[in-house]
C-alpha cells in the first residue's frame, strides 16, 4: 500500500475506535480520535460537555489537534489510519448549526487525505457513554452531515459494511491495498 493518510469516519458509536484498535493490533500505524481527550481535559476544568457549552472553542482544539495528526501521519512510512479527519470538525459544527471562521475551510482544502472510509450508524452496536452524549437519531443526522461535508471537498467515500470488527477491518485493508 502506498497511501499515506487514510481516514476512518462516521457518526458517534459506529465502531471507528474498534477498527483503529484492530488495525493497530495488526501492526498498522494509527492515530486515535482526539475529541475524548479534549472532552476529558475540559471536564478537569469543570466543563461537562465543552462542545455543548462552547462549540467553537471545542472545535478549535480539535482542528489544531487534527492538523498536528495530519502532519504527524505525513512523517510516517506506509499507510497511516486516522480516527476522523479535519472535515469532521466542520460537519459537527454544521450539525450544531454553528458558524465557523474561514480558516476551517482553508484547513480542509490544505490538508487532503488519500482515502476516506465511512461507517454508517448501526443501532445494534450504538452505546452512549460519559463522552458520547448523542442519541442514535442524532448520530444519523451527524452521519448525514459527515457525508455532505466530505463530498463538498471532493472525497470519494468508501462505505464499510456492517459486520464483525475482523470482517470490517479485512474489508478496509482489501480496498486500501488497491490504492
Q: Is the pLDDT of residue 44 over 80?
A: no
pLDDT at 162: 95
Count of structural domains, the chain: 1
Contact 120, 16 (CB under 8 A): no
Q: pLDDT confidence of 107, banded at 50, 70, 90?
A: very high
Q: Write phi, then psi, for 118 (nearest 5 degrees).
A: -120, 135
pLDDT at 52: 64
pLDDT at 1: 42
> At 80, which CATH number?
3.40.50.300
The whole-model pTM stands at: 0.89
Q: What residue numbers bound the domain in which 91 lies?
A: 5-176
Give mean pLDDT, residues 79-106: 95
Amino acid at each position: 500500500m502506498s497511501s499515506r493518510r487514510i481516514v476512518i469516519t462516521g457518526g458517534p458509536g459506529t465502531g471507528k475506535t474498534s477498527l483503529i484498535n484492530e488495525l493497530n493490533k495488526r501492526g498498522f500505524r494509527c492515530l486515535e480520535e482526539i475529541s475524548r481527550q479534549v472532552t476529558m481535559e475540559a471536564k478537569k476544568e469543570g466543563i461537562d460537555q465543552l462542545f455543548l457549552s462552547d462549540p467553537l472553542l471545542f472545535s478549535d482544539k480539535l482542528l489544531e489537534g487534527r492538523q498536528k495528526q495530519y502532519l504527524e501521519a505525513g512523517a510516517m512510512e506506509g499507510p497511516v489510519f486516522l480516527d476522523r479527519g479535519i472535515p469532521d470538525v466542520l460537519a459537527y459544527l454544521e450539525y450544531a448549526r454553528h458558524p465557523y471562521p474561514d480558516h476551517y475551510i482553508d484547513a480542509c482544502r490544505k490538508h487532503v487525505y488519500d482515502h476516506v472510509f465511512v461507517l454508517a450508524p448501526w443501532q445494534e452496536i450504538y452505546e452512549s457513554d460519559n463522552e458520547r452524549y448523542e442519541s442514535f437519531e442524532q448520530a444519523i443526522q451527524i452521519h448525514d452531515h459527515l457525508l455532505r461535508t466530505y463530498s463538498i471537498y471532493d472525497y470519494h467515500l468508501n462505505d464499510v459494511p456492517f459486520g464483525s470488527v475482523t470482517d470490517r477491518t479485512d474489508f478496509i485493508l482489501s480496498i486500501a491495498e488497491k490504492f
